[in-house]
Structure 1
Amino acid sequence: MSQHETKKKSTRPLEIPQFTPKDYGSFFFAGAICAMLSHAAMTPIDVVKTRIQVDPSFKGLGFVSGTRQLVAKEGSRALLTGFGPTAVGYLAQGGAKFAGYEFWKKKFTEIAGDQETAVRNRTAIYLGAASVAEFFADILLTPLEATRIRLVSQRGYATGLVSGFTRLAREGGIRELYAGFLPIICKQIPYAIGQFTTNELCHELVYRSMSEETKRSLSPTAQFTIALGSGIVAGFAAAILSQPADTLLSQINKGHGPQGSMAYRLTQLAREAGFRGLFAGLGPRMIMTSGLVASQFLMYDGIKHALGAPHGLEIHKEVQRD
């Protein structure tokens, strides 16, 4: 067989599902619900993590000791501070992120032009889709995240979501509501990259060693175990990649740092914190994020299935097998 014939044979047409507006609506709904439930459930861990990052009296404490100190000083209700902004913010962000990832992964795969090119560049497709989807989702998240951090870090700031958001908007306007936009995309885009790309590659690594018959005959328990394990690893990756910007975001919303452009403030805060300071609270955040990411993927797939939505586009390497 000639080289031209071999190349022609290997360059197969794209096998891309044609998602309808209803499908994207299902993706959005599933992403919104799974993100809202998972982040809301992790509120106590996030409260302790944020206090360790921004409150001098919590400096050097771990998750357990930080939790004990918070409950001793402010009562157990303090662990649910910021619950409202967390739930509403991630309802909007999760829907936009998951539906956006499905949309942009399909769009970038179409741009690749053929199956071989798409598979060869699949990591770049995952990175691009996660980054673009997260950018637009963060436009919805940023004002609510600013409200949450202000409620958590400044005791007595407001009684809840509505009063906190209203006060922040009244006193600071759009500028304060979006003061954390640059650090939040610096945090959330690496987070999304770790979440989606690592999850895709973990699934590929597991399934690549299986025959088609084995994959079709996997028990529900085996499928659940693979999904859970991939989600946990993806959560660890997401936490590590996004931790420095997460620390800076908490500092910015607390009002720390010098005056000047956002880039200058971030640079100065990073210099003051140092490597160790930027990764303060990483332990509890890794615990939180592994649970978040794993539960999100499990719920996302379950909700999509219940809604009758199709599976997302797969461009794993095993599709090249003849």
Structure 2
Amino acid sequence: MTQPNAIDEEDYDYESLPPNFSLIQNMAAGAFAGIAEHCAMYPIDAVKTRMQIVNSNPSAVYHGVIQSTYRIASTEGIFSLWRGMSSVIAGAGPAHAVYFATYEAVKHLMGGNKVGEHHFLAAATSGACATIASDALMNPFDVIKQRMQIQNSAKMYRSMLDCAKYVYRNEGLGAFYVSYPTTLSMTVPFTALQFLAYESISTSMNPTKKYDPATHCLAGAVAGGFAAALTTPMDVIKTMLQTRGAAQDAEVRAVNGFVAGCKLLYRREGVKGFFKGLKPRVLTTMPSTAICWSAYEASKAYFIHQNSQS
């Protein structure tokens, strides 16, 4: 079987959409990319969640990636670093399928696929539209994931389904979406920045837009790290809102939105509180986005090549 890199010799435009790359194939590529991205760096994401949680009890505060990883593994078991990953697997596939399908469709409609040209507006707009659609689907799964990542969650929830039932029974359906506006305040600029940076870097490195694994990997890593660093404050508030139901702190449990979360965090920890978990967030995001873009572009190249053969 001919490998994807052989498509460099083909005459068709790699970046074009139909008829070379159908919607179903696009969604399959996106689903594969999403699962690969989240699973690869999940333990670091668990550490980031612990570091971002606002807690008045000093013994429950986590500091540093290595120190936190050792503390979780030694007190709760090494496999606790992977608790909640089933929720990511269940949600990431469909959410990323919608994500990349929306991205490609909007970019195509805005004329962003022309070889040798880079359209900043098309890249940013397609990224923003993609994240609005995918986050609506992913947000409940993300809430479950973060609830299962908190300290001693094994005593509260046996499984993803058990956690979902517990949250719904005790906090209602709204608990799964209370963080959605805050999530969008983070992911819309994050995705717009990431796609803008990715398209800029990849176009600069690869003007012909042919399939090039090294370009996709490097551009994805740099774009992801850049966007993650700039949107960390919103991620901290999102974590607060998604884990508030399990908090022992009465003030944290009473937080009902982005503004209230910002006020509480600033009063408790000042400006530096908004950048808790910055290092593990960037450390997680850079390889994750590199894996995501590499997996997506490889799948995309494979499908286009297969379609051209038939």
In 2: Cα distance, 1:309 partner to 1:247 partner? 42
Count residues with an aligned counterpart: 281
Give deviations 1:115-159, integer Å, cap 9, x for gaps. 8xx958x21221111111110111001111111111112522211
Counterpart in 2 of 1:97? 99
**Secondary structure of 1:308's partner?**
helix
In 1: Cα distance, 2:255 partner to 2:277 partner? 27
What's the CA shift for 1:172? 2.1
Identify if the C-alpha distance between structure 1 residues 247 and 263 changes in structure 2 by more than 3 Å, giving closer, same or farther.
closer
Taking every aligned residue pair, what percent have the same amino acid on both sides? 23
Please give the residue correspondences for 1:54-93 in structure 2 after superposition, counting only pairs within 5 Å: 54=53, 56-57=58-59, 59=61, 61-93=63-95
Counterpart in 1 of 2:144? 147
What's the CA shift for 1:235? 1.6
Counterpart in 2 of 1:10? none
In 1: Cα distance, 2:135 partner to 2:283 partner? 23
Give deviations 1:151-188, integer Å, cap 9, x for gaps. 11252221121111122122222211111101111222
Identify if the C-alpha distance between structure 1 residues 205 and 308 changes in structure 2 by more than 3 Å, giving closer, same or farther.
closer
In 1: Cα distance, 2:19 partner to 2:163 partner? 38
Counterpart in 1 of 2:5? none
| 1:105–1:125 Cα contact (<8 Å) kept | yes
Identify if the C-alpha distance between structure 1 residues 306 and 224 changes in structure 2 by more than 3 Å, giving closer, same or farther.
closer
In 2: Cα distance, 1:17 partner to 1:68 partner? 47
**126-135 or 263-272: bigger deviation:** 263-272
What's the CA shift for 1:259? 4.0
Q: What is the TM-score when the length of structure 2 is the normalising length?
A: 0.81
Identify if the C-alpha distance between structure 1 residues 20 and 266 changes in structure 2 by more than 3 Å, giving closer, same or farther.
farther
Structure 2 unaligned spans of 5+: 1-14, 245-250
What's the CA shift for 1:18? 5.4
* Structure 1 residue identity aligned to 2:131: E
Q: What is the TM-score when the length of structure 1 is the normalising length?
A: 0.78
What's the CA shift for 1:264? 3.1
In 1: Cα distance, 2:285 partner to 2:264 partner? 24
Counterpart in 2 of 1:3? none
Identify if the C-alpha distance between structure 1 residues 57 and 192 changes in structure 2 by more than 3 Å, giving closer, same or farther.
farther
Report which of the two structures shows the higher radius of gyration computed on alpha carbons.
1
* Structure 2 residue identity aligned to 1:188: T
Instruction: Say if 2:133 is the partner of 1:136.
Output: yes
In 2: Cα distance, 1:160 partner to 1:195 partner? 33
**192-201 or 134-143: bigger deviation:** 192-201
What's the CA shift for 1:276? 1.3
What's the CA shift for 1:26? 0.9
Q: Which has the higher contact order (CA 8 A, sep 6+)?
A: 2
| 2:36–2:291 Cα contact (<8 Å) kept | no
Indicate the RMSD between aligned Cα atoms, in angstroms: 2.9
Counterpart in 2 of 1:314? none
